[in-house]
């Protein structure tokens, strides 16, 4: 054939492919989610093979392992005892609570490790929602934000580097920014869950924290989170959320879930100059693990391809439960 241009010329050898590769993965791209509980030992999470709930006493072992693999940021999620949960989630701003203790420990032992936190009421709520639920079954926006601001300040006091509001209340980024600044934490960043969808992919995470909405409290409880998390059918709305978060002072914008919402990552990348994060959520992780355990897929290849897809769509950072495995595999490829 008389072809002037043959794209396969640049695919001929591995060296050529590396030379013209448009996107790449690094362990420094990953934010590693860690579950913390009040027990004395780590616990396996049934729906998330390979993931554990770590005790405060033992969490440093995993944090140091992640650091050794090149991961430079962890995000902490608490599994709170039932007796500490309440309608207003007040345990979220207990200075001696689970997350402040874990933050302080990590910063004392490995101060270089960046720590991101989660700001929402669902782990602390006896109703299982990200905000305060009224007796009429309405998730209250402004009243919830008051609690979130107190939570964010306590986390910053403990040593958090990045505050992650995941609640999807209107105006919470600006309120948290003001609260942090008023307390002298101008240096603490906000990584906002900007486009967080009311997704079916969160099931394993809610099992890990026992944080799903509850229908047994004796009052009206919304069965899902669709009055504050975004409708999966909408994409233009994500741009509105991103513009608002930027105006309110967010430093990083995040899309959750990641894999089913690559188009949203791409749209925010086109609209914003801020760093974009993708959350490779628990359901996405669990599906890969389940298929790999059955021998249906090659886990390593699928995970690295999936994580690369987030970078290709425009993400700068990736929250993923695959962090340590992926970092190790990337190291193997270089050796």
Domain map (residue ranges) of the chain: 25-334
pLDDT tens-place string over residues 103-160: 999 999 999 999 999 999 999 999 989 999 999 999 999 999 999 999 999 999 999 9
Dihedral of CA atoms 199, 204, 206, 210 in degrees, nearest 10, equals 160
Task: Kindly state the average pLDDT of the residues 28-48.
Answer: 93
Full DSSP string of 59-91: HHHHHHHHHHTT--EEEEEEE--GGG-BTT-GG
Query: Using alpha carbons only, what angle is made at residue 251 by residues 328 and 286, rounded to the nearest 5 degrees?
Result: 40
d(CA 116, CA 189): 9
Catalytic residues: 196, 256
Residue 264 has pLDDT above 90, yes or no: yes
Query: What is the per-residue pLDDT for 214?
Result: 77
pLDDT tens-place string over residues 201-247: 998 888 877 777 876 666 888 999 999 999 999 999 999 999 999 99
Instruction: Please tell me the total number of residues recorded for the chain in this structure.
Output: 335
Query: What is the per-residue pLDDT for 310?
Result: 98
Which residue is it, tokens 């949960």? 85
DSSP code for 46: T
Task: Kindly state the average pLDDT of the residues 60-84.
Answer: 96
Task: Kindly state the average pLDDT of the residues 15-29.
Answer: 94
Residue 188 has pLDDT above 90, yes or no: yes
Q: Is the dihedral of CA 38, 39, 43, 47 positive or negative?
A: negative
Task: Kindly state the average pLDDT of the residues 56-75.
Answer: 97
Query: What is the per-residue pLDDT for 209?
Result: 75
CA distances, 116 to each of 33, 59, 109, 319 (Å): 9, 15, 16, 11
pTM: 0.94
d(CA 322, CA 280): 9
Higher pLDDT, 38 or 311: 311
d(CA 73, CA 318): 10
Superfamily of 25-334 according to CATH? Aldolase class I (3.20.20.70)
Which residue is it, tokens 């486009």? 195
| Rounded CA Rg of the chain | 20
pLDDT tens-place string over residues 275-321: 999 999 999 999 999 999 999 999 999 999 999 999 999 999 999 99
In contact, 249 and 174? CB cutoff 8 Å: yes
Residue 331 has pLDDT above 90, yes or no: no
Burial class (CB in 10 A: 0-12, 13-18, 19+), 299: middle
d(CA 126, CA 122): 8
């Amino acid at each position: 054939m008389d072809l002037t241009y043959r794209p396969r010329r640049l695919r001929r050898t591995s060296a050529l492919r590396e030379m013209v590769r448009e996107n790449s993965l690094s362990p420094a791209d990953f934010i590693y989610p860690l579950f913390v509980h009040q027990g004395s030992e780590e616990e396996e999470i049934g729906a998330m093979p390979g993931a554990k709930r770590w005790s405060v006493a033992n969490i440093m072992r995993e944090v140091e392992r992640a650091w050794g693999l090149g991961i430079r940021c962890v995000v902490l999620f608490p599994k709170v005892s039932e007796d500490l949960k309440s309608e207003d989630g007040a345990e979220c701003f207990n200075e001696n609570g689970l997350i402040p203790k874990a933050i302080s420990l990590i910063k004392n032992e490995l101060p270089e490790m960046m720590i991101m936190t989660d700001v929402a009421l669902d782990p602390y709520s006896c109703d299982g929602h990200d905000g305060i639920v009224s007796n009429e079954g309405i998730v209250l926006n402004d009243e919830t934000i008051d609690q979130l601001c107190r939570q964010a300040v306590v986390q910053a006091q403990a040593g958090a580097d990045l505050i992650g509001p995941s609640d999807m209340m209107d105006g919470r980024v600006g309120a948290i920014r003001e609260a942090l600044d008023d307390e002298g934490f101008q240096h603490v960043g906000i990584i906002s869950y900007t486009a967080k969808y009311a997704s079916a992919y969160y099931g394993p995470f809610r099992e890990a924290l026992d944080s799903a909405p509850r229908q047994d409290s004796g009052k009206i409880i919304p069965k899902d989170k669709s009055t504050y998390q975004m409708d999966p059918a909408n994409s233009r709305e994500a741009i509105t959320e991103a513009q608002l978060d930027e105006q309110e002072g967010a430093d990083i914008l995040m899309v959750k879930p990641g894999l089913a919402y690559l188009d949203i990552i791409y749209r925010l990348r086109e609209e914003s100059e801020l760093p974009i994060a993708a959350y490779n959520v628990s359901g996405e992780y669990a599906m890969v693990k389940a298929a790999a355990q059955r021998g249906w897929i090659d886990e390593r290849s699928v995970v690295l391809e999936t994580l690369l897809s987030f970078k290709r769509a425009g993400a700068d950072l990736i929250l993923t439960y695959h962090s340590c495995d992926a970092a190790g595999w990337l190291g193997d490829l270089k050796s």
